[in-house]
């Protein structure tokens, strides 16, 4: 995820110090870029036999985009930028992409992301809490000989979401695990992953349940549905997850704007992209990749607040009018180019997801 040092110039070794942020100068010595610094030092201090001849150190990744605080190497600057005032556009297109700053994560999550066992099994832990399943057309036609099994899919990969309640005699899965048999939630979640030699830890599962219950707006909606089902005597209802974010380009989703519990016979004013979760349903429904909760439903351990992902309501920033430009849409490519950057004094799980990413 980090910028690669593929541009090589032998003399390009930056020095720390100088002006502080906001600036495109080297960072002050107090800047927390130690991990990159250590990596850089490792590269420089390895024995000569282990460094390929065409590898050259670019020094510290300590330059900051003056618009969005993304970190860069000096050598990544645009051609028209100077060493004193370098310019970078791969992050925010020179200030046109403006999104909500990353929130402070709970200390527990930051600690987990440094835990070796957790990071080696992060995909299993995420699958345990994912609210949607991944679907694809599996092509077995290649597996006709005696060779090893080949997993091949044709067509796109998509995400699906099921009903609130499992079918009779079925075990709860995916979002149903947030709603059913709460007394045994840790055991139920682990039960899907006790094979294949993996040993996942109940205390981590319990910790993640607590974190998501407390911080994730999507989980809160499902827990509310759980309480209603347990209360009994509640009219038939469904959950609607809204697809239109409105002016939510800079804010976290609040419960009543991300989704709602809708009673049968109530107003029906959603859009075609809304996700409707029924109490009982047949086959799982496909979730549009343009839905703003698409990523948060599938990757709750990267989007622990239930944050919005890309959606079609995002717009570019107009520096002249100091407002969003209604006529200029922010594309998916621009969105992810912005998100997948390490930033000055900002900590993001997205760039630390390791095997989950
Ligand atoms: Zn930028």
- Tell me the CA–centroid distance for residue 104 and ligand 1, in Å: 20
Query: 13 falls in which pLDDT band (50, 70, 90)?
Result: very low
- Tell me the CA–centroid distance for residue 218 and ligand 1, in Å: 30
Range of weakest confidence among 28-42, 150-164, 171-185, 255-269:
28-42
- % of the chain exceeding 90 in pLDDT: 35
Q: How far apart are CA 169 and CA 188, in angstroms?
A: 15
**For residue 287, what are its two tokens?**
């979730």
Residue-wise pLDDT tens digits, 46-61: 555 677 888 888 889 9
Output phi, psi for 110, to 5 deg: -65, -35
- Residue 162 makes CB contacts below 8 A (sequence gap 6+) with 133, 173, 174, 175, 176, 277, 281, 284, 285
- Tell me the CA–centroid distance for residue 66 and ligand 1, in Å: 7
- Tell me the CA–centroid distance for residue 76 and ligand 1, in Å: 12
Q: Is the pLDDT of residue 8 over 80?
A: no
- How far is CA 153 from its chain centroid? 24
- Tell me the CA–centroid distance for residue 344 and ligand 1, in Å: 11
- Tell me the CA–centroid distance for residue 142 and ligand 1, in Å: 45
Query: 244 falls in which pLDDT band (50, 70, 90)?
Result: low
Q: How far apart are CA 110 and CA 150, in angstroms?
A: 36
- Tell me the CA–centroid distance for residue 322 and ligand 1, in Å: 16
- Tell me the CA–centroid distance for residue 89 and ligand 1, in Å: 6
- Tell me the CA–centroid distance for residue 325 and ligand 1, in Å: 18
Q: Is the pLDDT of residue 20 over 50?
A: no
- Residue 190 makes CB contacts below 8 A (sequence gap 6+) with 128, 200, 202, 205
Closest CA to 177 of 201, 212, 203: 212
pLDDT at 269: 57
Query: 329 falls in which pLDDT band (50, 70, 90)?
Result: very high
**For residue 196, what are its two tokens?**
């294949």
pLDDT at 163: 85
**For residue 66, what are its two tokens?**
């003056």
Residue 338 or residue 46, greater confidence: 338
Average pLDDT over residues 51-74: 90
Residue 112 or residue 153, greater confidence: 112
- Tell me the CA–centroid distance for residue 3 and ligand 1, in Å: 14
Query: 35 falls in which pLDDT band (50, 70, 90)?
Result: very low
Q: Quickly tell me which residue has 């927390």 as its tokens.
A: 32
pLDDT at 218: 92
Average pLDDT over residues 22-38: 44
Closest CA to 76 of 95, 91, 55: 91
pLDDT at 256: 67
Residue 265 or residue 229, greater confidence: 229
- Tell me the CA–centroid distance for residue 294 and ligand 1, in Å: 25
pLDDT at 302: 96
Residue-wise pLDDT tens digits, 193-229: 765 566 899 999 999 999 999 999 999 999 998 888 8
- Tell me the CA–centroid distance for residue 201 and ligand 1, in Å: 39
pTM score, whole prediction: 0.77
Residue 105 or residue 29, greater confidence: 105
SS (H, E, C) 249-309: CCCCCCHHHHEEEEECCCCCCCCCCCEEECCCCCCCEEECCCCCCHHHHHCCCCCCCCCCC
Q: How far apart are CA 178 and CA 163, in angstroms?
A: 12
Q: How far apart are CA 66 and CA 330, in angstroms?
A: 20
Range of weakest confidence among 95-99, 131-135, 334-338:
131-135
Range of weakest confidence among 72-81, 248-257, 317-326, 336-345:
248-257
pLDDT at 105: 95
Query: 257 falls in which pLDDT band (50, 70, 90)?
Result: confident
DSSP 40-100: HHHHHHS-GGGS-TT--------EE-TTT-BEE-GGGS-TT--SSS----TTTTTTT---P
- Tell me the CA–centroid distance for residue 192 and ligand 1, in Å: 42
Q: Is the pLDDT of residue 12 over 50?
A: no
Determine how β-strand 275-277 pairs with β-strand 237-241: antiparallel
pLDDT at 246: 54
Is residue 37 within 8 Å of 2, Cβ to Cβ?
A: no
The three-class DSSP label of residue 351 is helix
- Tell me the CA–centroid distance for residue 67 and ligand 1, in Å: 5
pLDDT at 117: 94
């Amino acid at each position: 995820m980090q910028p690669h040092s593929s541009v090589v110039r032998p003399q390009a070794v930056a020095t720390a110090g100088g002006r502080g942020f906001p600036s495109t100068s080297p960072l002050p010595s107090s800047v927390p870029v130690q991990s990159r610094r250590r990596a850089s030092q490792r590269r420089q201090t390895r024995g000569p036999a282990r460094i390929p001849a065409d590898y050259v150190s670019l020094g510290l990744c300590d330059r900051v985009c003056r618009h969005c605080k993304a970190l860069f190497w000096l050598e990544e600057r645009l051609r028209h930028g100077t060493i004193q005032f370098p310019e970078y556009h791969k992050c925010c297109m020179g200030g046109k992409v403006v999104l909500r700053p990353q929130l402070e994560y709970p200390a527990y999550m930051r600690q987990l992301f440094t835990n070796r066992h957790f990071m080696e099994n992060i995909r299993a832990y995420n699958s345990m809490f994912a609210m949607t399943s991944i679907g694809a057309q599996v092509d077995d036609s290649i597996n006709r000989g005696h060779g090893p099994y080949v997993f091949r899919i044709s067509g796109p990969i998509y995400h699906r979401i099921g009903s609130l309640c499992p079918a009779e005699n079925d075990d709860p899965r995916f979002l149903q695990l947030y709603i059913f048999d709460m007394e045994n939630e840790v055991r139920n979640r682990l039960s899907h992953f006790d094979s294949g030699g993996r040993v996942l830890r109940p205390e981590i599962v319990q910790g993640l349940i607590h974190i998501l219950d407390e911080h994730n707006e999507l989980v809160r909606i499902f827990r509310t549905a759980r309480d209603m089902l347990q209360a009994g005597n509640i009219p038939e209802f469904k959950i609607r997850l809204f697809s239109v974010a409105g002016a939510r380009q800079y804010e976290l989703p609040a419960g009543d704007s991300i989704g709602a519990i809708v009673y049968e016979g109530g107003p029906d004013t959603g859009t075609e992209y809304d996700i409707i979760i029924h109490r009982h349903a047949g086959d799982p429904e496909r979730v549009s990749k343009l839905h703003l909760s698409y990523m948060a439903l599938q990757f709750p351990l990267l989007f622990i607040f239930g944050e919005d992902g890309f959606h079609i309501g995002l717009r570019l920033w107009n520096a002249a009018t100091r407002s969003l430009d209604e006529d200029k849409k922010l594309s998916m490519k621009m969105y992810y180019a912005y998100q997948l950057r390490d930033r000055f004094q900002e900590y993001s799980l997205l760039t630390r997801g390791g095997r989950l990413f």
